[in-house]
Amino acid sequence: MNWLTDITPPGIKKMFRAQDDQQALWTRCPSCEQMTFNRDLEAEQMVCPNCGHHHPITPVMRLFHLLGEEWERLELPETPDDPLKFKDTKPYPARLKDYRKRTGERDALVVGKGMLGERAAVVAVQNFKFMGGSMGTAIGEGLLTAADAAVDAGAALIVVTASGGARMQEGILSLMQMPRSTIAVQKVREAGLPYVVILTNPTTGGVTASYAMLGDVHMAEPGALIGFAGPRVIEQTIREKLPEDFQKSEYLLDKGMLDRVTDRREMAAELGNILSVLMAPTGAVQRELPEPIAEATTQPANDAAPEAAADELPKAAE
């Protein structure tokens, strides 16, 4: 406590505490600068009711809004905390400990399974608040686990991306997750199941260069930044001014790189419609043709009973 705090009158202290409490109840939109009551913002799935700006959302909240109340969390394999003994301004294990305390998650991926309408789905969600959603061995293992779960359950695999790219603290091990995540996608494809990607703000780096662009269907939230290198890096490299909406989801939709740009509040319904086209309802039994019809369709009409056809011909006169 400093000298200024010591001499501050109790009334002034109370006023500042009241302001802090008020700020905890309200959120200012960075797009329209309007204040929204947090309870109202959460009811809108963290989408600004004034301008439609999509605020960050936690993985658990996203899974709840996509899969409903009865979704089940998948346990992901634990990976080594410091395989390369890496240290920058602080040791890598210390960074992990800090982010685990902030987010309550072990790493930057949360996987849940449940139902989207009448279709089973496994949904893997990246958490940008955990080291920028960076891709390390934990995400690689998590995606392989999600793919195996989808194949075992005959479910669609849906990945919600949010990442700044590879995790530098894991070096080459991080880059190895690009082919490993591709293997995860291939497992789902070989099983004949859909793989859908939802790109959110931001999706960049090695994530964009691997599993984020391998979907059967690519969807994105409005205004999401999507690309490999960021626009600032590109401008400095080519020394040219880029279009204002360059690498935004609407720009990529116009250029044919995305299939849909969908408001978060409509995402569950949109995904349900897409999965209803790509796969049969979970638990549905494929109806077989009745036996007589199945037999009739196995041989052409012209080949039916040649002996009987010969009997119908007039006999030659003796």
Rounded distance between C-alpha atoms, residue 88 and residue 92, angstroms: 8
Q: How much is the mean pLDDT over the chain?
A: 87
Q: What is the CATH number of domain 56-278?
A: 3.90.226.10
With 90 as the cut, is the pLDDT of residue 158 above it?
yes
290 is in an annotated binding site: no
Could you tell me how far CA 224 lies from the centroid of its own chain?
Answer: 13
Could you tell me how far CA 302 lies from the centroid of its own chain?
Answer: 54
pLDDT score of 42: 95
Instruction: Give the tens place of pLDDT for each residue, 28-40.
Output: 999 999 999 999 9
Rounded distance between C-alpha atoms, residue 309 and residue 288, angstroms: 31
Residue 74 CA: distances (Å) to CA of 45, 111, 235: 23, 6, 41
pLDDT score of 102: 96
| Segment 253-269 mean pLDDT | 97
pLDDT score of 282: 73
pLDDT score of 11: 60
User: Does residue 34 contact residue 50 with C-beta atoms inside 8 Å?
Assistant: yes
User: Does residue 133 contact residue 108 with C-beta atoms inside 8 Å?
Assistant: yes
Q: How many CB atoms lie within 10 A of CB 261?
A: 20
3-state class (DSSP) for residue 243: coil
| Segment 75-81 mean pLDDT | 96
Please give the share of the chain, as a percent, with pLDDT higher than 70: 81
With 80 as the cut, is the pLDDT of residue 50 above it?
yes
The residue extents of the domains of the chain are 16-55, 56-278
| Cα three-residue angle 272-219-149, rounded to 5 degrees | 60
Rounded distance between C-alpha atoms, residue 229 and residue 93, angstroms: 27
pLDDT score of 281: 86
| Cα three-residue angle 175-181-185, rounded to 5 degrees | 155
pLDDT score of 23: 54
Report the residue count for the chain: 318
DSSP state of 32: T
Closest CA to 76 of 122, 118, 45: 122
Rounded distance between C-alpha atoms, residue 15 and residue 103, angstroms: 30
User: Does residue 143 contact residue 188 with C-beta atoms inside 8 Å?
Assistant: no
DSSP state of 78: P
Residue type at position 254? D
**What is the pTM for the complete model shown?**
0.82
51 is in an annotated binding site: yes
